[in-house]
Amino acid sequence: MRLPAILFLALTLLPAAASAAQSPLQRLQAFLAKATSLQADFDQTQVAESGVTGQRASGVFYLQRPGKFRWDYRKPYRQEIVSNGGKVWFYDVDLEQVTTKKIGEAIGSTPALLLSGEVPLEQNFKVEDQEASEGLYWIRLVPKSPDSGFQQLLIGLEGDVLAGMQLTDNFGQYTRIYFRNVRLGARHDAALFELKAPPGVDVFEEK
């Protein structure tokens, strides 16, 4: 199953006086407090440890805090990733297959969980400043558990708007995502965060 090691968020520097007074964790928490819901287009690129660019993908991301999000991959393949109620569903349309995972076991495949409010950041990660890059302010999250499935996640903001994410796995490969047309406060239908396997689709639940 093609599981995107997704999501890379960026924050632009806040005004100097305000940013100097905030820790990286406080900056991230301030953004999340504002982003109770959002919708954004995204472009994703996978990059090997050698620096060779791999598969590119694009689609739409939806977030409804607490605990709900949806990734709709539309190109070059169709895949839906939905979280609601303590589990994450991965639906590969082409393979006609749905896989479900518990929240704690899915972060390496869906870093968007870190935005959903389902994972206590301070309890599970070291949160650090990164140097500003590409006009964005980046925050680095390093998992405290050696069994997390990935090395680090970079989250960034442009001002107070989500702009990118980058996740590095345990093999040195990373997935980079940039967001466009971000709409904070977007209204979502509750059905958007429900996934029911169509007839004939195989369903696997990881325990």
Per-residue pLDDT of the chain (207 residues; tens, 9 = 90+): 444 433 322 222 233 334 445 666 777 778 888 888 889 999 999 888 888 888 899 999 999 988 888 999 999 989 999 988 778 889 999 899 999 887 665 555 556 666 776 667 777 788 888 878 888 888 898 888 777 778 888 988 887 788 999 989 888 888 999 999 999 888 899 899 988 888 889 888 876
Give the pairing type, strands 161-169 and 87-92.
Answer: unpaired
pLDDT for the residue numbered 162: 85
- Angle at CA of residue 147, ends 141 and 149, nearest 5°: 65
Counted domains in the chain: 1
CATH number of the domain enclosing 135: 2.50.20.10
Is 185 part of any domain? yes
Is 183 part of any domain? yes
Residue 42's domain comprises: 16-205
Short-list 182, 124, 180, 185, CA closest to 153: 124
pLDDT for the residue numbered 43: 95
Question: Against a cut of 0.95, is the pTM above it?
Answer: no
pLDDT for the residue numbered 84: 84
pLDDT for the residue numbered 109: 53
Is 10 part of any domain? no
Is 1 part of any domain? no
Helix (H, G, I), strand (E, B) or coil at 115: helix
Is 8 part of any domain? no
pLDDT for the residue numbered 92: 92
Is 120 part of any domain? yes
Q: Are 136 and 158 in contact (CB under 8 A)?
A: yes
Short-list 100, 119, 115, CA closest to 164: 115
